[in-house]
Amino acid sequence: MIELAIFRTGGVEIAPSSFLSAGSSEKAYAPVWSALLRTSEGNILFDTGLHPIHIDRPDATFGPSALKVVMAREDAIVARLATLGVRPEDVSVVVNSHLHFDHAGNNGAFPKATFVVQADHLAFAKGKPNFPGVYWDIPELTYLPTTGRARVAPGVEVVPTPGHAPGHQSLVVDLAEAGRVVLSGDAAFTRENLERGEIRQPDETAAKESLALIRSLVGDDLDRIFVSHDAAAFARWRHAPEWYR
């Protein structure tokens, strides 16, 4: 049986127009989150969140920019996992949707894990300033470059959803009680992206196809899609220490 817990690892203040052209240009709060899956083959972590350096230094990664990090001490992923009785060494697999600093910020905290990332994403992100390698391009870490859809554990599968970046991937989880859910990563920032089939991305053609793919994976039931940065949607979900089963 798979159990899924979702927890905030911080947040950002960002203009909704960054997510959807029709959105407001006034900055608003958007959560950043990760998920832990307990499976028959061990603990799987989806995304590693923001690095705790941002608690005291919100500008630590990019300096003053269009995006302001908001992070509390309790948001640090190791602290969040501890409240679930999980130590970093208890995590056997990490799936990164992609390697931006709010999704891979704590990869270095999991040197015992295998990191599942699409091969073309690893190649794309390497050396790029907007994918700061300090958080993920670390010699001790074990990356498993993956190509296409791939099973991570029984009932857990990565599915490529490019558009935000080449090789971006989402996680499909088949739960016994809740049914199939998708953790979209930045393939869908907000529920409105899914509803409208529109999103602001570097490759909007690929991104629209990815939105359609994600919807089709759950039979258009948008309540089964956990989008990456939607405060209103996030507030409606169950949060750790509650579990989806």
Task: Tell me the site size for Zn ion, rule CB under 5 A.
Answer: 2
Positions 130 through 149 that interact with Zn ion (CB under 5 A): none
| Minimum distance, C-beta of residue 78 to Zn ion, in the bound complex (Å) | 22
Which residue is nearest to Zn ion, using beta carbons? 100
| Minimum distance, C-beta of residue 164 to Zn ion, in the bound complex (Å) | 6
Positions 11 through 40 that interact with Zn ion (CB under 5 A): none
Residue 86 or 211: which CB sits closer to Zn ion? 211
Segment contacting Zn ion by CB under 5 A, of 126-134, 155-163, 181-189, 207-215: 181-189
Check if the beta carbon of residue 162 is closer than 8 Å to that of residue 147.
no
> Residue 193 phi/psi, 5° resolution?
-55, -45
Residue 43 or 97: which CB sits closer to Zn ion? 97
Cα 221 vs. chain centroid, distance in angstroms? Answer: 20
Check if the beta carbon of residue 49 is closer than 8 Å to that of residue 105.
yes
| Minimum distance, C-beta of residue 208 to Zn ion, in the bound complex (Å) | 17
Residue 70 or 153: which CB sits closer to Zn ion? 70
Residue type, 79: A
Compose the 63-102 pattern: x for residues touching Zn ion by CB under 5 A, - for all others: -------------------------------------x--
Q: Looking at 137, 157, 186, 192, which residue binds Zn ion (CB under 5 A)? A: 186
Positions 99 through 118 that interact with Zn ion (CB under 5 A): 100
Residue 137 or 186: which CB sits closer to Zn ion? 186
> Residue 98 phi/psi, 5° resolution?
-165, -175
- From residue 110, alpha-carbon distances to 13, 50, 104, 140 in Å are 27, 14, 11, 9
Residue 38 or 200: which CB sits closer to Zn ion? 200
Residue 43 or 201: which CB sits closer to Zn ion? 201
**Alpha-helical segments (H) within 41-150:** 53-56, 77-83, 119-125
- From residue 242, alpha-carbon distances to 4, 6, 144, 224, 226 in Å are 9, 8, 30, 17, 15
Q: Is 155 exposed, middle or buried (0-12, 13-18, 19+ CB in 10 A)?
A: middle
Check if the beta carbon of residue 110 is closer than 8 Å to that of residue 48.
yes
Q: Does 215 bind Zn ion (CB under 5 A)?
A: no
Residue numbers at the binding site for Zn ion (CB under 5 A):
100, 186
